[in-house]
Amino acid sequence: EHSFLPRIIPSTEITTGKYTLTYRSPSKKSKLSVQAMYRSSISATTLVGIKPMWNVSVVPVDLSKNESVVSCFQKSIVAGTQIKCSVTAKSVDGESITEASYASALDALITSDSGETVKGDIEYSGLPGEFNILFTMTRVGKASLEVKYQSSNGFALIDDVPQSIDITPADISVENSELECLVAKDVTQSEGSRCVLTTFDAFMNPTGSKNNEGAFSIYASKTGTNTVTSTKATHISGNTFAIFIKIEKSGTWNIEAKYFSNAFSRQSSLTLLPGPLDVDNTMVSCNPKVPAISEGTCEIEGRDMYNNLVIVSEEVARRFVGIVEYRSDSSSKDEHSFLPRIIPSTEITTG
């Protein structure tokens, strides 16, 4: 039982009128008849034979397992890079196999401990007995190449011990790498906010090492303010890096990471709170004139050490003490209770 797998392939030059019929020949010495058939349309059921019918003799090529060798030129290669191995094929009589079509009698299967499996493309190199095996692996792991040849008893391994190739990660991809930021307690936290970069290559393999620390930078931007930059990345472990960014202005900031000059496709954001009230930056303003027997008001605008408006709260309000007393040059002084009170604004972001 043999599947000939006939196929009709049109010529790449449309004006030649040529088509190629290909089929897989059996492994044993035998005689075949080959004929092309034609139907008037794809849906037609009637086939018309195209003359002549050819008689073909199958001449067996008996590969010598002991004399043939599988070899790979790379023992370690970056994911996504084409790998080239070869089969040096010799027949049982010691001669190099030079029939280019013998490539179809070979089968290459590559499996990896990553779970990836691919079939190798096999082609005749043009050199006596040399057949190239081409394939590409995209997942990091240890790949094993097994090459089989068609024998009279089906497919058999050329080498009992598979060829082994280590697939290593490719360079960092800004399209696949991730950025996450943990906001600081407030703008006064000395080291700032901590951002974590998790880096992957183009095939989602974890990649990166301490050598990449100097290639990272992050940028914080906010409308109406200057961009803040940090380039002090630290390799944590594996494909993870940390980078702190010190931002002194409160509010929501957009965070962008770069690898060299290439921006990560994924961005993050931080909403920074102002710090505690700083007396030196806090302002008090009062109406310079107030009618007798009425309520006078002053406004306190609380700001932190970086001049951000502080968050208004009852707790902060209770820390203020208002002192109102007669000035020494006042023309009238009597016993009077000024009853000063501090009331927080209903808008908590006003300071």
pLDDT tens, residue by residue, 292-308 = 878 888 898 999 999 99
Model pLDDT, residue 335: 66
Residue reference for tokens 């035998």:
30
Model pLDDT, residue 153: 79
Residue 115's region, left for phi above 0, alpha for psi from -120 to 50, else beta, is left
- Given a contact cutoff of 8 angstroms between Cβ atoms, the answer to whether 106 and 148 are in contact is yes
* pTM of the shown model: 0.76
Confidence label for 3 from pLDDT (cuts 50, 70 and 90): low
- Averaged over 198-216, what is the pLDDT? 97
- Given a contact cutoff of 8 angstroms between Cβ atoms, the answer to whether 222 and 252 are in contact is yes
Summarised one tens digit per residue, pLDDT across range 93-144 is 999 999 898 998 899 999 999 999 999 999 999 999 999 999 999 999 999 9
User: β-strands 163-168, 76-78: how paired?
Assistant: parallel
**Residue 102: strand, helix, or coil:** helix
User: Which residue, 31, 59, 42, 32, is CA-closest to 8?
Assistant: 42
Model pLDDT, residue 338: 61
Bridge partners of 110, per DSSP, are 118, 145
- Averaged over 322-337, what is the pLDDT? 74
Model pLDDT, residue 244: 98
Model pLDDT, residue 292: 83
Bridge partners of 233, per DSSP, are 243
Summarised one tens digit per residue, pLDDT across range 244-263 is 999 999 999 999 999 999 99
Summarised one tens digit per residue, pLDDT across range 25-43 is 776 778 888 888 899 898 8
Measured CA to CA, the distance from residue 297 to residue 291 in angstroms comes to 11
User: Which residue, 184, 206, 207, is CA-closest to 195?
Assistant: 184
User: Which residue, 228, 215, 210, 208, is CA-closest to 260?
Assistant: 215
Mean pLDDT taken over the chain: 91
Measured CA to CA, the distance from residue 188 to residue 304 in angstroms comes to 9
Model pLDDT, residue 316: 85
Q: Could you give the C-alpha distances from 236 to 152, 175, 195, 199, 320, in angstroms and in order?
A: 57, 21, 12, 12, 45
* Tokens representing residue 193 in the block: 């906010």
Model pLDDT, residue 339: 62
Cβ within 8 Å of residue 166, ≥6 positions away? 75, 76, 77, 141, 142, 143
Alpha helices per DSSP H over the chain: 314-317
